[in-house]
């Protein structure tokens, strides 16, 4: 494939590979790898996914999908998938904590 060959010889492509390599190499430095900004950002993302607005939207999604399924406008498999997704979003932190506790013994 000629397009692939041109892409691999492209200087921008090679600079991108070099940039990724440098980022990976820098991530092994203790000062960068253990940086607190990553933790703060991750905590904020977790708070967004499990916050009050998200909880309200999840409740509305369950109610609306349940009503639609009762009237035959939505398949029950979709309602189950929505419910499982909500359980994984809100229970994700507890699931990970359980796995870590089990691994530590």
Regarding whether 54 and 43 lie in a shared domain, the answer is yes
Is-contact 27 33, C-beta < 8 A? yes
Regarding whether 75 and 55 lie in a shared domain, the answer is yes
In which domain, by residue range, is 101 found? Answer: 36-105
Regarding whether 93 and 59 lie in a shared domain, the answer is yes
> How far are the Cα atoms of 18, 98, 105 from residue 83, in angstroms, in the given order?
43, 21, 31
- pTM here is 0.58
User: Within 13 Å, how many C-alpha atoms sit on residue 38's CB side?
Assistant: 6
Q: How many domains does the chain have?
A: 2
* Dihedral (Cα; 93, 95, 96, 97), 10-degree rounding: 80
Burial of 65 from C-beta contacts in 10 A (0-12 / 13-18 / 19+):
buried
Q: pLDDT band at 81, cuts 50/70/90?
A: very high
Regarding whether 63 and 14 lie in a shared domain, the answer is no
- Highest-scoring range by mean pLDDT, 6-10, 39-43, 64-68: 64-68
| Average pLDDT score, the chain | 82
Regarding whether 61 and 49 lie in a shared domain, the answer is yes
């Amino acid at each position: 494939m000629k397009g692939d060959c041109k892409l691999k010889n492209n200087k921008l492509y090679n600079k991108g590979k070099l940039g990724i390599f440098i980022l990976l190499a820098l991530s092994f430095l203790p000062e960068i790898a253990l940086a607190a900004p990553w933790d703060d950002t991750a905590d904020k993302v977790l708070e967004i996914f499990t916050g009050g607005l998200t909880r309200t939207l999840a409740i509305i999604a369950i109610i609306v999908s349940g009503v639609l399924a009762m009237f035959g406008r939505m398949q029950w498999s979709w309602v189950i998938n929505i419910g499982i997704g909500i359980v994984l979003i809100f229970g994700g932190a507890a699931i990970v904590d359980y796995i870590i506790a089990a691994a530590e013994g």
